[in-house]
């Protein structure tokens, strides 16, 4: 996977989530990007059950289990500021077996779904982030496919994002900071989505709820 930046775009003043998504996708299409199917990134939250906590004397931890449609046969399991495990999809079956120790906070399930666009060497995914039935925000993922070293192509990524995101172009993602010259991996993208989802969960709900 090429170096990827995942960021949140705020809902435009006076518009709904869906209208803002349409504004972004229209800009992309005007640039010349081609639609290439859809994508989905979802995140489930597990917390350690009370029974395990009392034995180990530690505070409960949150574990996130995520899927990315770009890697349909994989499952990503991670702790905030902790390791990110990449496993195959049988990991979900294992979590079912572990339900006495890790409880699935079903209400916290959050996902981003939308369209994939290709523009030359860039892959752009604009998604509506939903939690349950309500739309909570917009995620934009931009990947520069030919490069796998984060610091080598950040400037190019930023310039491309400015062409359709304008003022909403983000700064350097925090995962790039620790990368130095090591190869970018799909786990880094998933960590960025986890950070974005956590930020969105804390934000106030978008006043115009619901997806049309």
C-beta of 87: minimal distance to another protein in Å?
A: 4
The DSSP annotation for 95-117 comes to HHHTTTTEEE-GGG-EEEEEEEE
Question: Which among 97, 98, 61, 57 is positioned nearest to 79, based on CA atoms?
Answer: 61
The yes or no reply on residue 55 touching another protein (CB under 8 A) is yes
**Nearer to another protein (CB atom), residue 64 or residue 154:** 64
C-beta of 177: minimal distance to another protein in Å?
A: 19
Contacts with another protein by CB under 8 A: the residue count is: 48
Cβ density class 152-171: b for 16+ within 10 Å, e for less: ebbeebbebbeebbeebbbe
* Tokens standing for residue 102: 């890790």
Distance CA 103, CA 88 (A): 20
Distance CA 105, CA 185 (A): 28
Q: Pattern 135-174, binding to another protein, x per CB under 8 A?
A: ----------------------------------------
Which of 15, 26, 32, 93 is in the footprint of another protein by CB under 8 A? 93
Structural element, H or E, at residue 159: helix 150-165
**Nearer to another protein (CB atom), residue 145 or residue 208:** 145
**Nearer to another protein (CB atom), residue 114 or residue 154:** 114
**Where does this chain bind another protein (CB under 8 A)?**
34, 36-40, 42, 48-49, 51-52, 54-56, 58, 61, 63, 67-70, 72-73, 75, 77, 79, 82-94, 97-98, 100-102, 113, 116, 118, 187
């Amino acid at each position: 996977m090429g170096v990827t930046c995942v960021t949140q775009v705020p809902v435009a003043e006076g518009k709904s989530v869906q209208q803002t998504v349409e504004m972004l996708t229209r800009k992309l299409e005007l640039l010349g990007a081609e639609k290439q199917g859809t994508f989905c990134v979802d995140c489930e939250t597990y917390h350690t059950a009370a029974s395990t906590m009392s034995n180990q004397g530690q505070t409960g931890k949150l574990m996130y289990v995520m899927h990315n449609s770009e890697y349909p046969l994989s499952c990503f399991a991670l702790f905030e500021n902790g390791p990110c495990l990449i496993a195959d999809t049988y990991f979900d079956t294992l979590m079912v077996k572990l339900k006495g120790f890790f409880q699935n906070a079903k209400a916290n399930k959050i996902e981003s779904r939308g369209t994939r666009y290709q523009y030359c060497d860039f892959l752009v995914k604009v998604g509506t982030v939903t939690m349950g039935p309500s739309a909570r925000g917009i995620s934009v993922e931009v990947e520069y496919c030919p490069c796998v070293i984060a610091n080598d192509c950040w400037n190019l990524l930023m310039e491309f994002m400015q062409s359709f995101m304008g003022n909403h172009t983000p700064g350097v993602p925090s995962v790039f900071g620790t990368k130095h010259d090591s190869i970018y991996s799909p786990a880094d993208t998933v960590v960025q989505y986890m950070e974005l989802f956590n930020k969105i969960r804390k934000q106030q709900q978008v006043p115009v709820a619901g997806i049309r």
